[in-house]
Amino acid sequence: MMIVPDLTTLQMPLLSIRARGKWKNEVIFQVIHGKQFRRSYSVYDGSAKAHLVPFQPKFAAGVRAWQALDLSIRRWYHSRASKLGKQMTGFNYYLSLYLRDKL
């Protein structure tokens, strides 16, 4: 004989395999590339992080440089990123090169 729990009193959000979203402001469930992931919920306050402050001016300059590029050059970076097997866009690929001074 199999005992089935009363689903009305069940306290878990996983009533389906594809659970998504927050649960009790403690856990976030998400599906990425068909796989279920769970991570802890943390509040982001939006303040500048001390270890990232030195990179912010260079990052902002890289974004402005990307925006100033011709559309054909942007497309080249998009195709280059996909040909290298990188799981990123051309924008991310360009910024990674820009931040490492490899342009």
User: Worst-scoring range by mean pLDDT, 1-15, 48-62, 73-87?
Assistant: 1-15
Report the pLDDT value the prediction gives residue 7, as an integer from 0 to 100. Answer: 41
| Residue-level pLDDT at 8 | 44
Quick one: pLDDT at residue 74?
96
pLDDT in tens, 13-69: 554 555 556 555 666 667 777 776 767 766 777 788 888 888 899 999 999 999 999
Pairwise pLDDT comparison (84 vs 73), residue with the higher score: 73
**The 3-state secondary structure of the chain, one letter per residue:** CCCCCCCCCCCCCCCCCCCCEEECCCEEEEEECCEEEEEECCCCCCCCCCCCHHHHHHHHHHHHHHHHCCHHHHHHHHHHHHHCCCCCCHHHHHHHHHHCCCC
pLDDT at residue 43, rounded to an integer: 74
Average pLDDT over residues 65-74: 97
